[in-house]
Amino acid sequence: KAGVTQTPRYLIKTRGQQVTLSCSPISGHRSVSWYQQTPGQGLQFLFEYFSETQRNKGNFPGRFSGRQFSNSRSEMNVSTLELGDSALYLCASSLGVPYLNSPLHFGNGTRLTVT
Amino acid sequence: DQQVKQNSPSLSVQEGRISILNCDYTNSMFDYFLWYKKYPAEGPTFLISISSIKDKNEDGRFTVFLNKSAKHLSLHIVPSQPGDSAVYFCAAARGNQGAQKLVFGQGTRLTINP
Q: What percent of chain A has pLDDT over 90?
A: 77
A111: Cβ–Cβ under 8 A, 6 or more apart, which residues? Answer: A9, A10, A11, A88, A89
Interface contact A109, partner B, CB < 8 A = yes
pLDDT of residue A97: 66
Specify whether the CB–CB gap between B74 and B23 falls below 8 A.
yes
H and E: helices and strands count for chain A? 0, 11
Res B11 pLDDT > 90: yes
Q: Do A56 and B100 touch (CB under 8 A)?
A: yes
Average pLDDT over residues B9-34: 95
Q: Are B43 and A108 in contact (CB under 8 A)?
A: yes
| CB within 8 Å of B91: residues ≥ 6 apart | A43, B4, B33, B34, B35, B36, B102, B103, B104, B105
Q: What is the pLDDT of residues B28-68, one digit of tens each?
A: 989 889 999 999 888 999 999 998 899 999 999 999 999 99
Percent of chain B with pLDDT over 90: 82
- Mean pLDDT highest for which of B25-34, B82-91, B95-104? B82-91
Residue A99 phi/psi, 5° resolution?
40, -35
- Cα–Cα distances in angstroms (integers) from residue B59 to residues A12, B71, B77, in the given order: 41, 22, 10
Answer yes or no: is pLDDT of B99 > 80. Answer: no
Instruction: Give the pairing type, strands A87-94 and A31-38.
Output: antiparallel
Nearest to A103 among B31, B41, B46 (CB): B46
The band of A32, judged by pLDDT with boundaries at 50, 70 and 90, is very high
Instruction: Answer whether A104 sits within 8 Å of B93, measured CB to CB.
Output: no
Q: Which of B52, B64, B55 is nearest to B21 (CA)?
A: B64
Q: Is B104 on the interface with A (CB under 8 A)?
A: yes
Beta bridge partners of B20: B76
pLDDT computed for residue A90 by the predictor: 97
pLDDT at B61: 98
State how far the alpha carbon of A6 is from the alpha carbons of A22, A71, B32, in Å.
Answer: 6, 15, 27
Mean pLDDT of chain A: 92
pLDDT over threshold 80, residue A102: no
Q: What is the pLDDT of residue B97?
A: 60
Higher pLDDT, residue A94 or A12:
A12
Using the Cβ of A51 and the Cβ atoms of chain B, whether some distance falls under 8 Å is answered with: no
Q: How confident is the model over A43-52, as a mean pLDDT?
A: 92
Instruction: Reduce the secondary structure of A13-82 to three states and give it as a string.
Output: ECCCCCEEEEEECCCCCCEEEEEEEECCCEEEEEEEEECCEEEEECCCCCCEEEEECCCCCEEEEECCCC
Q: Which of A49-58, A89-98, B8-17 has the lowest mean pLDDT?
A: A89-98
CA A80 – CA A90 distance, rounded (Å): 20
Residue A9 pLDDT exceeds 90? yes
- Rounded Cα gap, residues B68 and B53, in angstroms: 9
Contact A106 B44 (CB under 8 A): yes
On whether the CB atoms of residues B92 and B82 are closer than 8 A, the answer is no
- Asked whether the predicted pLDDT for residue B95 surpasses 80, the reply is no
**CA-CA distance, A42 to A93, in Å (whole number)?**
19
DSSP letter at A85 equals: G
Instruction: Point out which residues pair with A106 in neighbouring strands.
Output: A92
Taking 90 as the threshold, does the pLDDT of residue A40 lie above it? no
pLDDT at B1: 66
A contacts of B99 (beta carbons < 8 Å): 94, 98-99, 102-104
Q: Residue B100 pLDDT > 70, yes or no?
A: no
Residues of B in contact with A96 (CB under 8 A): 98, 100
